[in-house]
Amino acid sequence: MGKTSGGRAILPAQSLQTLIDVVHSQGYRLIGPTLEDNAIVYDDLENVENLPLGISDRQSPGNYRLEDDPSAGYFAHVVGPHSWKRFLFPAAQKLWSATRVDQGFSIQTPEDETKLAFIGVRACEIKALQMQDRVFSQGPFTDNGYGEKRQNCLIIAVNCSRAADTCFCSSMDAGPRVTEGFDLALTELQQGRHDFLIETGSANGEALLKELVTRKAEDQDFAEADAQLAATEASIQRRMPSNIPEVLERHLQDEHWQTIESRCLNCSNCTLVCPTCFCSTVEDTTDLTGQHAERWRYWDSCFNTDFSYIHGGSIRQSGAARYRQWITHKLSYWHKQFGTSGCTGCGRCITWCPVGIDITEEAATFCEIDKRS
């Protein structure tokens, strides 16, 4: 999947179902944004009706609310509590099972041939997928499950028609415009009409586009799309200071960590909603007969005290040390480990923090501390 590969066309919104049908007909399991329990979550998509048409979201630190908005299109919402990582790196995953045989045991690895297609993937989310690629498939080892699933994954992206109050992708070089890493990119156009501008980003995307009944995209379509993206970008209020990687590392022992500790509940919400957090733990179990064992992998979080347990006690005993691990890993160490920030600026950790701790605000505070020192 590369940059825009040239194919461009207009698909009327009333034909969106045909895109869904084509994806299904190629054997993909299609997943996209759907409405569930007052939140937009990613789930199986059978029908265009499953998309949250006419729904918009309001987000602020510690707050998420959906609103009916007759003018809102299919993708007018921004990111919700789910991220795509749950399909490539599931929250609970059986790694293998083992069965006792005479002297020892034999190991069986589960197989999963499902081909996944994602629709409604935003620029920051593509960036997040690419960050997880670096962890799971571009190091010395490849996670078999992740690597294969990801390679075969079809990405239908959307350009954001608006930003949430919590977004700061523009200062993370992660949006709002989708620039690479997709098969098809949609821009929802609603100025006196309801159309999608479709751009292709891969040969797969080209082939898909050929299956659809579209019309030629004209200059005015691009102009409307560009203006919409520019307006989205201009509306982004939050930002991440660019010198934050060095700043945090200079102040690992500042007393401000204790101030954050006094607010932080150590609930680990921020790591669970974060599209790039990759930490996991494993659990080994046997059944009652003792003949059958399984190994499962679960999402874990550096906010759990046990996370750093070694014989004799946990390394990060204090909440301050655990918050410091989280933010310095995201914003500083990630650069050294993977050559990029670990944050895309999606704002989920801000919205879903029960006490509204804001990563951009804490980063700004450390920059202030840095200036004073």
Partner 1 sequence: MKTSQDPMTPNLFQVQRIRRELADTFTLELTAESNNEFPFLPGQFNMIYLFGSGEVPISISGDPAQPNRLIHTIRAVGSVTEGLKSCKSGDMLGIRGPFGSAWPVEQATGQDIVIITGGIGLAPLRPAIYHLLANRQRYGKIVILYGARTPADILFRKELERWRSRFDISVEVTVDQAVSNWSGRVGVVPKLINRADFAPEETTALICGPEIMMRFSVKALQERGVKEDHIYVSMERNMKCAIGFCGHCQLGSQFVCKDGPVFPYSQISSAFRIREL
Residues 220, 147 contacting (CB under 8 angstroms)? no
Pair of tokens at residue 334: 């990630």
CA 195 – CA 187 distance, rounded (Å): 8
By CB under 6 A, tell whether 275 contacts ligand SF4: yes
Closest by Cα among 46, 180, 187, 55 to 117: 46
Closest by Cα among 306, 294, 272 to 93: 294
Closest by Cα among 310, 309, 349 to 330: 349
Range in contact with ligand SF4 (rule: CB under 6 A) among 26-34, 45-53, 221-229, 267-275 = 267-275
Q: Which does 2 bind (CB under 5 to 8 A by kind): partner 1, ligand FAD, ligand SF4, none?
A: none
By CB under 6 A, tell whether 309 contacts ligand FAD: yes
Pair of tokens at residue 127: 């960036």
With respect to ligand SF4, which residue has the nearer C-beta, 121 or 277? 277
Report in angstroms how near the CB of residue 279 gets to ligand SF4 at its nearest. Answer: 3
Report in angstroms how near the CB of residue 352 gets to ligand SF4 at its nearest. Answer: 8
Determine how β-strand 63-68 pairs with β-strand 92-101. unpaired
Report in angstroms how near the CB of residue 311 gets to ligand FAD at its nearest. Answer: 4
By CB under 6 A, tell whether 311 contacts ligand FAD: yes
By CB under 8 A, tell whether 114 contacts partner 1: no
By CB under 6 A, tell whether 213 contacts ligand FAD: no
Helix residue spans in the chain (DSSP H): 16-25, 85-88, 123-136, 144-151, 203-210, 219-234, 244-250, 256-263, 269-273, 319-328, 334-338, 348-351, 359-372
With respect to partner 1, which residue has the nearer C-beta, 114 or 337? 337
By CB under 8 A, tell whether 243 contacts partner 1: no
Residues 358, 63 contacting (CB under 8 angstroms)? no
By CB under 6 A, tell whether 158 contacts ligand SF4: no
Residues forming the site for ligand FAD (CB under 6 A)? 309-311
Residues forming the site for ligand SF4 (CB under 6 A)? 271, 273-279, 301-302, 325-326, 329-330, 343-349, 359
Residues forming the site for partner 1 (CB under 8 A)? 95-96, 98, 100, 103-109, 111, 135-136, 139-144, 252-253, 278-282, 284-286, 290, 293, 295, 297, 300, 302, 307-311, 315-318, 320-321, 325, 329, 332-333, 336-337
